[in-house]
A and B are shown apart, each in its own frame.
Chain A
């Protein structure tokens, strides 16, 4: 009769809790989270387009929700999420060509991704609010 041996205490493969959080690692996680968020954000675009196609009442309802504090907060977050994911995607496309893997390059790209996404989001919102006739 074969006896069932207790499994040997081999080291497991390292996982998240082993590593010190690094910028490149956090940006990789954020890229996935923003992609996940953008997926559901498309519901907002669908609602907006259907509202525009439905008529003035449906459009006014959308504008009321989008213009509320919660609506604006969600839209601001969505804007950042889209921009961040887009810049992150450009980073991935650069990597796909085999470039940008050096120690300095990858840190620089990660930082540029984060700073760029915040800066572009703020600029877009300033332009957007000005287009709406300034902050109300």
Chain B
């Protein structure tokens, strides 16, 4: 009984541990996972971009399409777009209090992140497969 006084949440909700968003600590953990991945991937992407500076399209396309560079750039794009989607959702949840506006923006955020990820991935794959 004293347990019920100390905790507002029901024992079932507590044991499930998934919170109001029904996703538990999923976002928290994924944000840190992608943050760690982003560090080496961003450094690698910056090195690749600097290497390509001053080269013409043909040379840039050849380097970007080579397997190792293409794989690194794809990993970079995937990790960054997952990370930025979660980050923007936190910003939306913090500042947008109107329920319908919030849900609309959270949807638009996912659409944007997926579209950017797909556009980048398409460009990289097109260069890698050379079609």
Contact = CB atoms under 8 A, between A and B. Distances in A.
**Chain A bound to chain B:** yes
Contact of A49 (B32, B56, B58, B124): B124
Interface residues of A, number: 31
Nearest to A35: B87
Contacts of B87: 35-36, 39
Interface stretch (A1-9, A19-27, A86-94): A86-94
Contacts of A59: 56-57, 60
Contacts of B84: 35, 38-39, 42
Interface in B98-131: 116, 119-120, 122-124, 126-127
A18 interface: no
Given A50-B119, A53-B123, A131 B39 contact: no
A124 interface: yes
Interface in B51-79: 51, 53-54, 56-58, 60-61, 64, 73, 77
Most B CB atoms within 10 A — which of A38, A49, A93? A49
B44 interface: no
B54 A131 contact: yes
A32 B87 CA distance: 9
Given A59-B60, A93-B32, A132-B54, A52 B120 contact: no
A66 B105 CA distance: 30
Given A39-B84, A42-B80, A92-B35, 6 more contacts: A49-B73, A52-B64, A53-B123, A93-B36, A132-B53, A132-B54
